[in-house]
Amino acid sequence: MDDYAIRAAVKADAERLVRFLPAKPGRSVELRVEAMRHDLRERVSAGELLILLAEHDGHVVGYARASHVVRPPSRSPEEIPSGWYLLGVYVATAHRRRGLGRAFTERRLAWIAEQADEALYFTRTDNDASLELHTEYGFSEVARGVNAPGQPVRADRVLLRARVRP
């Protein structure tokens, strides 16, 4: 881990981050960069979003975010509840199993603990890497078949929760 630097992202990182992350069908790089800039400018400074990145030899090799999610009152019962979420962690394939996922998770859980008693996250039931990683931090299943804002409906999306304060 000595070769890696993890830090909070700033607005100037927006384009590098988008180019690092896997492409999203139907959304251009330009639109994603604009959305990332907006998040870094508005939501990070409002204290409702944390975006971290990991660098190695000057290149971005990891990304993670945590955020406060507010569930709109009109949504279906399957919609995820309001709360503080670990949302999206991605490590470049060549840099996996070196502790970056763990380091990102610890930094984000410490940030959530400053705001709330518990953290939430969701993933797919077949994402063994994600489930194993988060089990270490006390996450346990709350519900299956949950819907998340901006994401396609999936029966195999699982919601997990962990206490972050004693």
Can you give the binding site for ligand COA, defined by CB under 6 A? 89-91, 96-102, 123, 127-130, 132-133
Q: Are 92 and 62 contacting, i.e. CB atoms less than 8 angstroms apart?
A: yes
CB-nearer residue toward ligand COA: 127 or 147:
127
Taking the C-alpha atoms of residue 61 and residue 10, their distance in angstroms, rounded to an integer, is 16
Cα-based distances in Å from 81 to 4, 111, 119, 137 = 34, 19, 11, 20
- Least Å from the CB of residue 62 to ligand COA: 7
CB-nearer residue toward ligand COA: 44 or 87:
87
* CB-nearest residue to ligand COA: 101
- Least Å from the CB of residue 74 to ligand COA: 26
CB-nearer residue toward ligand COA: 25 or 166:
25
- Least Å from the CB of residue 15 to ligand COA: 20
Taking the C-alpha atoms of residue 139 and residue 127, their distance in angstroms, rounded to an integer, is 14
| Conformational region of residue 132, where left means phi above 0, alpha means psi within -120 to 50, and beta covers everything else | alpha
